[in-house]
A and B are shown apart, each in its own frame.
Chain A
Amino acid sequence: MNTNTAVDTPPVPVTADPASAYVRIANLTKRFGDFAAVDEVTLDIRRGEIFCLLGGSGSGKTTLLRMLAGFESPTSGTIYIDGEDMSKVPPYERPVNMMFQSYALFPHMSVAKNVAFGLEQEGVARGDIKRQVGEILDIVKMGSFGARKPHQLSGGQRQRVALARALVKRPKLLLLDEPLAALDKKLREHTQFELISIQQRLGVTFIVVTHDQEEAMTLGTRLGVMNHGRIAQVGTPSDIYESPANRFVADFIGSVNMFEGQVCDAGGDCLRIACTELGCTVRAERARASAAGATVWTAIRPEKINISRRPPAAQPAAAPENLVRGTVREIAYMGDMSIYLVQIDSGKMLRVTLPNVTRGLDLPLTREESVWLSWHGTSPVVLTE
């Protein structure tokens, strides 16, 4: 992923009320034969937030969403929506609407008919249906497309109609299954912010399933990272990125340089970790306490590593900390930044990214050039699992 944008994530207004768990998922398990698609998941989702379920394919995120919608019944565990047990409630009676990944627009109905479908099921008066359909189509900027059939729309337009159809009943909870996956990159970025603004305007709680971490970071007030049917970590985008709870999360979100090592000094306000892989001692401030001798993993994000031709000053020459020598092997120029693959003396490859701040290369490193890599003591994350 493009780590730069993850750090530059625009501030998302957080209006979620932390006290009220609007959706409460308790010990939820779904088995298909011997395979646990969702495994003992316990999760609280707050009123008014955009909660992103992020995971690779087969991580169980879609199964979890489908259980919330009522399309799959849990093997065990309970889902409460607004305090009400949903176990016995069929999909057509749940206070939930879903936006499908394929959009699932009814091909034989016009856009207006598609959007009106939900209201018709409730027996809303004809005039009211017309007004509400018009309103919601205006919100998604599809007001003039009511008479079109789905096949006459572009992908982005279909996505808007699907959103309008899911929102027209003003659900308290909207489930979005890979809402932007079918859109091209430019449109996707644009639509992300629109989704947020619509969510804010209507005050709906969103649960978004996505495999795209950039999308999850941009949209989500909080993320739940899923792996093998379990929740690996729940937190705000910056929690997840800056303080991953385990190796899976650190590796899954963004790119990371990870080294195995032993804690050699657990005293004081920081940990010192001996990394033979790295060839230097890592000093990690703000790390969770760990016993001396324990095996841990140190994760350092590529953008948190400095690269220079000369060793930084004020380093004790004898036992260098957070400092390694290496040789630049590959340079990838990405426009906004460059990625450097540096082979350190131990032979391991490190990934370093630097923003291209000034026009023209201010650090015209070349391949095969010998460099020093260093990082601040707050940069490494120490992981025990």
Chain B
Amino acid sequence: MLRIPQLSGRRVVAGIPILWLLVLFLIPFIIVFRISLSEVRLAIPPYTPLLTWHHGSPSLQLHWSSYAFLFTDSLYVSSYLYSLKVAAVSTLCCLLIGYPMAYAIARAAPASRSVLLMLIVLPFWTSFLLRVYAWIGLLKNNGVINNVLLWLGVIHHPLVLLQTDFAVYIGIVYSYLPFMILPLYANLEKHDGALLEAAADLGARPMRAFLRITLPQSLAGILAGSLLVFIPAVGEYVIPTLLGRPDQLMIGRVLSDEFFENRDWPVASAVAILVLLLLVIPIMWFQRLERRELEAQ
């Protein structure tokens, strides 16, 4: 008997995101990967084809030189490492600031929870770019912060705040904090209060109960929030460009410069592929942990 594949609701629901990822993620990825294996040339498009025809027979020409190049120039390696450092420190700061906030919201009265959550999301109503520019106004030499401190007499010469690592951290932590708080809140809000009572009943002081009960149980939320901050922070372009040091680029800036300044698409693509590889490792690690967590429930 002939079986006609049925377009069931389940297939449609599963199919849409798969199609989305295929068209908007996998295919562009393949294109970028393909460009990274070409050589640069002055033409349109500005790279060599992979497949050429010699006397009627196809010949495949893969160039790994762009990747090799990334390791010969210290600019790339140092940008990678700097990006990782900035992302890691920013993630840690977001965690240290965001955890108590998420915890407080999760413990707040149900009526005030939605208001507090709205306040967390409120900054998104203003353009991201605008908010980063606003930080320039706050941090620059004759900006709000310096003026207030000078007026108070705390300092006598303006502090150099803008175009420092500090400014980059401020910008990233400020911009990505909601991405840390929301998954943490979602996790902490589900915690059973009886467990903390049980811990207290068994003699655990509040801090110990937190470390032994709440913290281990919120690990999935910590990981989710950390990845949501860490991953975009590694590739962050706008914040370091506007607030950061001119002498130390992050990898996102390097990538954009390669494309638009140098017009070296193969190298730019190679940078993009390596950033992706760098991020795939923590994502896979997270997914493994999450699966373990699911199995434990």
- CB-contact partner of A108 in B201, B204, B216, under 8 A: B216
- Please indicate the chain A residues that have their CB under 8 angstroms from the CB of B212 in the complex: 106, 117
Residue of A nearest to B208 (CB): A121
Contact: A118 with B194, CB < 8 Å? Answer: no
User: Is A98 positioned at the interface, with any CB of B under 8 Å from its CB?
Assistant: yes
Q: Which residues from chain B contact A118 at a C-beta distance below 8 Å?
A: 202-203
Cross-chain contact of A122 among B201, B203, B213, B217 (Cβ < 8 A) = B203
Interface size bucket, A side? 20 to 34
Contact A96 B202 (CB under 8 A): no
Question: In the complex, A97→B296 CA distance in Å?
Answer: 27
Q: Least Cβ distance of B214 to chain A in Å?
A: 11
Chain B's closest residue to A115 (CB) is: B202
**Contact partner, A98, options B201, B205, B208, B297, Cβ 8 Å:** B201
Evaluate contact between B203 and A121: CB separation under 8 angstroms.
yes
* Chain A nearest Cβ from B280, distance in angstroms: 28
Flag whether A100 is at the interface (Cβ < 8 A). yes
Residues of chain A lying within 8 A (CB to CB) of residue B203: 92-93, 118, 121-122, 169
Residue in A70, A98, A117, A151 whose CB lies within 8 Å of B204: A117
Interface residue? B195 (CB, 8 A): yes
Query: Do residues A121 and B198 form an inter-chain contact, with CB atoms below 8 A?
Result: no
Of the residues B198, B204, B296, contact of A100 by C-beta under 8 Å = B198
Interface size class on chain B is 10 to 19
B231-275 CB contact bits vs A (8 Å, 1 = yes)?
A: 000000000000000000000000000000000000000000000
Chain A residue at smallest Cβ distance from B293? A108
Tell me the smallest distance from the CB of A227 to a CB of chain B, in Å. Answer: 26
Q: Closest Cβ of chain A: how far from B207's Cβ, in Å?
A: 11
User: Does A1 make an interface contact (CB < 8 A)?
Assistant: no
Known interface pairs A106-B213, A151-B297. Does A92 touch B197 (Cβ–Cβ under 8 Å)? no
> Chain A CB within 10 Å — which of B199, B203, B204, B213 has the most?
B203
- Among A207-262, those with CB < 8 Å from B are none
B205 with A106: CB separation less than 8 A = no
B201 interface neighbour in A91, A102, A107, A151, Cβ under 8 Å: A91
Q: Tell me which residues across on chain A come within 8 A of B194, comparing CB atoms.
A: 100, 102, 104
Within 8 A of B (CB), among A333-367: none
B115 within 8 A of A: no
Which one of A108, A122, A166 lies within 8 Å of B296 (CB-CB)? A108
Q: Which residues of A (93-115) have their CB < 8 Å from a CB of B?
A: 93, 96-98, 100, 102, 104-108
Is B192 an interface position by the 8 A CB rule? Answer: yes
On whether the beta carbons of B202 and A149 are closer than 8 Å, the reply is: no
| B208 A151 Cβ-Cβ under 8 A | no
- CB pair B204 A96 closer than 8 Å: no
Q: A133 contacts the other chain (Cβ, under 8 Å)? A: no
Contact with A along B68-104 (1 / 0, CB 8 A): 0000000000000000000000000000000000000
Interface of chain B, main secondary structure: helix
> Given A107-B297, A121-B208, do A92 and B200 touch, yes or no (CB 8 Å)?
yes
What total count of A-B pairs have CB within 8 Å?
Answer: 63
Q: Which residues in A have their C-beta under 8 angstroms from that of B197?
A: 69, 71, 91, 98, 100, 104
Q: Is A165 an interface residue (CB 8 A)?
A: yes
Interface set, chain B 181-195, CB cutoff 8 A to A: 192, 194-195
A90–B200 CB distance below 8 A: yes
Provided the pairs A149-B296, A151-B296, A151-B297 are in contact, do residues A106 and B204 lie with their beta carbons within 8 angstroms? no
Bound CA span A106–B215, Å: 12
CB distance from B187 to the nearest CB of A (A): 13
Which residue of chain A has its CB nearest to the CB of B209? A92
What is the CA–CA distance of A347 and B197 in the complex, to the nearest angstrom? 54
Beyond A91-B197, A100-B197, A102-B192, whether A121 also contacts B297 by CB under 8 A is: no
Kindly list chain B residues whose C-beta atoms are within 8 Å of the C-beta of A121: 202-204, 208
> In the bound complex, what is the Cα–Cα distance between A107 and B296 (angstroms)?
8
Q: Which of B205, B216, B296, B297 contacts A92 (CB 8 A)?
A: B205
Judging by beta carbons under 8 Å apart, are B195 and A106 in contact? yes
A residues near B204, Cβ cutoff 8 Å: 92, 117, 121
Report chain A residues within 8 Å CB of B296.
Answer: 107-108, 149, 151
User: What residues on B are CB-neighbors of A90 within 8 Å?
Assistant: 200
Contact of A104 among B195, B208, B297 (CB under 8 A): B195
Partner pick for A96 among B198, B201, B297, CB 8 A cutoff:
B201
Contacts of A102 in B (CB 8 A): 192, 194
Residue of A nearest to B195 (CB): A104
* A117 & B202 in contact (Cβ 8 Å cutoff): yes
**Could you say which residues of chain A place their CB within 8 Å of the CB of B192?**
102, 104
CB distance from B212 to the nearest CB of A (A): 7
CA distance A97 to B200 in the complex (A): 10
CA distance A149 to B204 in the complex (A): 21
Chain A residues within an 8 Å CB radius of B297 = 107, 151
Min C-beta distance of A102 to chain B, whole Å: 5
Roughly how many angstroms separate A118 CA and B192 CA in the complex, as a whole number? Answer: 19
Q: How far is the CA of A273 from the CA of B204 in the complex (A)?
A: 60
Q: Which residue of B lies closest to A165 (CB)?
A: B202
- In Å, the complex CA distance between A341 and B195 comes to 48
Cα–Cα, bound, A69→B205 (Å) = 14
Of the A-B pairs whose beta carbons lie under 8 Å apart in the complex, a sample of 27, sorted by A's number, is A69-B197, A70-B200, A71-B200, A91-B197, A91-B200, A91-B201, A92-B200, A92-B205, A102-B192, A104-B192, A104-B194, A104-B198, A105-B198, A106-B198, A106-B212, A106-B213, A107-B296, A107-B297, A108-B216, A108-B296, A117-B212, A121-B203, A121-B204, A121-B208, A122-B203, A149-B296, A169-B203
Q: A93-B203, A151-B296 are in contact. List 14 more A-B contacts (CB 8 A).
A: A69-B197, A91-B197, A92-B204, A100-B197, A104-B195, A105-B198, A107-B217, A107-B297, A108-B216, A117-B199, A118-B202, A121-B203, A165-B202, A166-B201
Q: Which residues of A contact B (CB under 8 A)?
A: 69-71, 90-93, 96-98, 100, 102, 104-108, 117-118, 121-122, 149, 151, 165-166, 169
Tell me the B residues contacting A by CB distance below 8 Å. 192, 194-195, 197-205, 208, 212-213, 216-217, 296-297
Which are the 10 A-B pairs with shortest beta-carbon distances? Answer: A118-B202, A121-B203, A104-B198, A104-B194, A91-B200, A92-B200, A98-B201, A121-B204, A108-B216, A92-B203
